[in-house]
Amino acid sequence: MVTTRDLEAHFEFECKACENGHCSKADVEKILAERKGLKDFYETFKEHIRECKRMTYGQYMFVIDREILPEAVLWWHNHPEFKETHLSTAVGTDERPLNGKFAFIPFLNVQVEPLNMDGNYWVFLKTYMPADDPSFPSVAAKLPAALWIEREVKDLLGFNPINHPDPRRLILPEDWPEGVYPLRKDMDYKHSPITEPKTEYRPTPKDTSLVPMGPVHAGVEEPAHFRLFVKGEEIVDVDYRGFYSHRGIEKTGEGRLTYNQILFLAERICGICGYQHSVSYAMAVERLADVEIPDRARYIRTLLLELERIHNHLLWVGIAAHLVGYDTGFMHAWRIREPVMWLVERLTGNRKQYGMNIVGGVRRDLLDYRKEEVLKVVRQIREDTKKFLDIALNTNTFIKRAEGVGILPYKVAKAYSVLGPTARASGRKIDARLDQATKTAMAYNEVDFKVPVYKEGDVLARVLVRMDELFESIWIVEQLIDQMPGGNIMVPIGDLPEYEEALGFTEAHRGEVVHYVMTGEKNKVYRWKVRAPTYNNLPAIPEMLKGYHVADAPIIIASIDPCYSCTERVQFVDIKTRKVKVLTEAEFNELSIKHKGVF
């Protein structure tokens, strides 16, 4: 049995967080003494700090003046002792209905010591801006990791990052009118204005020609638009325009759904790492409600998260092989992966882990006789993957395409706050599973595993990191099955405190997923912010592409495993009658009957 130290279990249907001093009402001096570095920060910026409080276990907030925002962020990011600290993301909130102000909160993942979840913590640097002048000095001018974050709040909330080096539109479509800000509370979620499209591409540099990769490109199955400026085949510079599939999920969630409904929206953010989003969101809300979820639920969640990692890494390595024309690798990787999907279908009723989570636990128990099956599948995968790697890593042409390509140096990786395997392939020793206190929602503190780190920073290193992780995941699954505790699988949450904020996070197979939740009245969510790892990894892509060939572009882009958050289905169109028929599940299954013994 594990104690989640700070948080005690509360089964009463009422808010316990405030009573126990786990939220804003705790004593300041006591809070600052809790973790290393907090006091130093407080001393350095004393006269600009308006308020400091602990949001929940391992999450601290400083309300600071907007003038010192860049200095404060950089103080943490470039902290000489906390080497792996990074600017994780930021959220902008329209708090005018509450206090007449706008708020902008960068989050820093402070790493006092790598992989020490009780020593590391999150820092929220909240800054308020008056409603008539929502501007703040740009952090992006000094730290590329903030480039997108600030463009995002500019688009969605109309904040003005002063001196931002690249203040073009990022998220909203080209035909969205100026001056309409969807995430402001006075805008209805159904409002969808349209105007003349206006594109803001960077001009093509002198003596180069343009290769437009996307928005639809055979190599990158994602609506993303890379504009490669090339000399011959060499890439000189890159411009990026994305967010073609922006769905406004945050706006839909806010104010319209209850906290339990949002969970089901959260897991549909991504078709690949959906469960990571679902757990992150659930974790944030559980932190707010200050409940300890049952151990069995934590174990089942961890099990499913790791199964997700296993199948995603296999999926990814298949795609990588396909992109360099090594289709045999692709087919075999996906063949090995398929049993995991079948297994997950047995465990959750769904090939993806959809509908499995709930705030406070999980919805389905793991039946004991299925434990054997889980072990059988993961052991088979270990054997098959070993064979696969033996062949793939001995394919000379595959190695030639992956080695020394798309190198991302450590410094650049850190400056862009690159996450996950991409970061670990560049020598960053980070892994949100162990870095931050995931133990309130998952069981990573009770299993043993290594975090593989490579220094090369090329595509091959990213392949190797992922494959090492896959074996670690299998090892984690075996331990989880072995140690699976009994007991309940969920605990009721009760009412949420009003206007409190917390983060939930997991390490998806692409990097750290962060969900920020600010509660509203009546158990609704006032602000919900999702940050998928690709959001941090993608801005670093131009840095990886420069100097390499157009031929390398697909594999380099794919090497961060960009998230394809779109759904696809099969439909037949009769070209004569124009009738459209969408396949039913049974018909679809018939198309993919599991044939055996091809050889």
Partner 1 sequence: MEFDVVKLGFSLAGIIILLFLPPYLDGIARRVKARLQYRRGPPLSQTWYDLQKLFSLPSVRSTRSALFTWAPYLALASSITAALLLPYGNIVPINIGFNLIVFFYVILMVSVLLMLAGLTVQSAFSHLGSAREMQIILTVEPLIAILYGVMAYNAGSLNIARIIAHLHLTPSLVLTYGVLAYALYVESGFVPFDIAEAEQEVIGGPLSEYSGRLLGVFYYAIHIKRFALLWFFISVLVLPWLGTIATSIKAVEVLALQFLLTLAAYPIIAALEATNARLRVDQVVKMNTRMFFAGVIILAMAFMGW
Query: What share of residues in the chain are helix, strand, coil (percent, to 5)?
Result: 40, 20, 45
Minimum separation from the CB atom of position 223 to partner 1 (A): 15
β 101-110/86-95 pair status: antiparallel
Q: In what order do the strands lie in the sheet with 86-95?
A: 49-56, 59-64, 121-130, 101-110, 86-95
Q: Which is nearer to partner 1, 208 or 258 (CB)?
A: 208
Judge whether 514 and 302 are in contact, CB under 8 Å: no
Residues paired with residue 504 on neighbouring β-strands, in sequence order? 515
Angle at 144 between CA 178 and CA 163, to 5 degrees: 50
Residue 167 vs 219, nearer CB to partner 1: 219
Rounded Cα distance between 383 and 386, Å, is: 5
Q: 317 vs 518, which CB is nearer to partner 1?
A: 317
To the nearest whole angstrom, how small is the minimum distance from the Cβ of residue 341 to partner 1? 17
**Which residue is listed with tokens 């932190």?**
287
Q: Which residues bind partner 1 (CB under 8 A)?
A: 209-212, 217-219, 232-233, 321-329, 331-332, 335, 391, 395-398, 400-401, 549-554, 595, 598-599
CB of 205 to partner 1, least distance (A): 15
- Residue-wise DSSP of 97-122: HHHSEEEEEEEEEE-SSTT-TTT-EE
Bridge partners (DSSP) of residue 528 are 517
- Work out how close the CB of 401 gets to partner 1 at its nearest, in angstroms, rounded to a whole number: 5
**Residue 15 phi/psi, 5° resolution?**
-75, 120
Residue number, 252 or 328, with CB nearest to partner 1: 328
Q: Are 518 and 36 in contact (CB under 8 A)?
A: no
Q: Which is nearer to partner 1, 232 or 487 (CB)?
A: 232
Q: Return the half-sphere exposure (C-beta side, CA atoms, 13 A cut-off) of residue 352.
A: 17
Residues 6+ apart with CB under 8 A from 40: none
Question: What does the block give as tokens for 445?
Answer: 């503190």
Walk across the sheet containing 234-241 and list its strands: 209-213, 225-231, 234-241
Cβ proximity to partner 1: between 256 and 335 the closer is 335
- In the bound state with partner 1, the residue whose beta carbon lies nearer, of 350 and 397, is 397
Q: With respect to partner 1, which residue has the nearer C-beta, 183 or 392?
A: 392
Q: Closest CB to partner 1 among 133 and 590?
A: 590
- Residues near 411 by beta carbon (within 8 Å), at least 6 away in sequence: none
User: To the nearest whole angstrom, how small is the minimum distance from the Cβ of residue 471 to partner 1?
Assistant: 22
> What residues contact 550, with CB distance under 8 A and at least 6 apart?
211, 228, 230, 233, 235
Spatial contact of 121 and 35, defined as CB atoms under 8 Å apart: yes
Closest separation in Å from C-beta 254 to partner 1: 39
Rama region for 205: left / alpha / beta (φ>0; ψ in -120 to 50; rest): beta
What is the C-alpha end-to-end distance of the chain, expressed in Å?
A: 49
Closest approach of partner 1 to the CB of residue 252, in Å: 34
Q: How far is the CB of 209 from partner 1 (least distance, A)?
A: 7
CB nearer partner 1, residue 82 or residue 326: 326
How far apart, in whole angstroms, are the C-alpha atoms of residue 106 and residue 373? 44
Q: How near is the Cβ of 34 to partner 1 at its closest, in Å?
A: 51
Q: For 446, phi and psi rounded to 5 degrees?
A: -110, 5
State which residue, 319 or 461, has the beta carbon closest to partner 1: 319
Instruction: Pick between residue 209 and residue 245 the one whose CB is nearest to partner 1.
Output: 209
DSSP 71-96: HHHHHHHT-SS-TT-EEEEEEEEEEH
Looking at beta carbons only, is 451 or 541 nearer to partner 1?
541
Smallest distance from the beta carbon of 319 to partner 1, in angstroms?
Answer: 10
CB 149 within 8 A of CB 106: yes
Q: Give min distance, CB of 553 to partner 1, in A.
A: 7
Query: What is the rounded distance in angstroms from the CA atom of residue 243 to the CA atom of residue 11?
Result: 42
Select 288 or 321, whichever has its Cβ closest to partner 1. Answer: 321
State the nearest-atom distance from the C-beta of 395 to partner 1, in Å: 6
- Compute the distance between CA of residue 385 and CA of residue 383 in angstroms, rounded to an integer: 6
What is the rounded distance in angstroms from the CA atom of residue 83 to the CA atom of residue 456?
A: 19
At residue 401, what is the residue type?
R
With respect to partner 1, which residue has the nearer C-beta, 214 or 511?
214
Residue bearing tokens 């509203």: 520
Contacts of 148 by beta carbon, 8 Å cutoff, 6+ apart = 170, 535, 538, 539
Least distance (Å) between residue 598 CB and partner 1 = 5
Give the separation between CA 555 and CA 550, rounded to whole angstroms.
10
The nearest distance, CB 339 to partner 1, in angstroms, is 13
Phi, psi torsion values for 536, nearest 5 degrees: -85, -30
Q: CB of 549: closest distance to partner 1 in angstroms?
A: 6
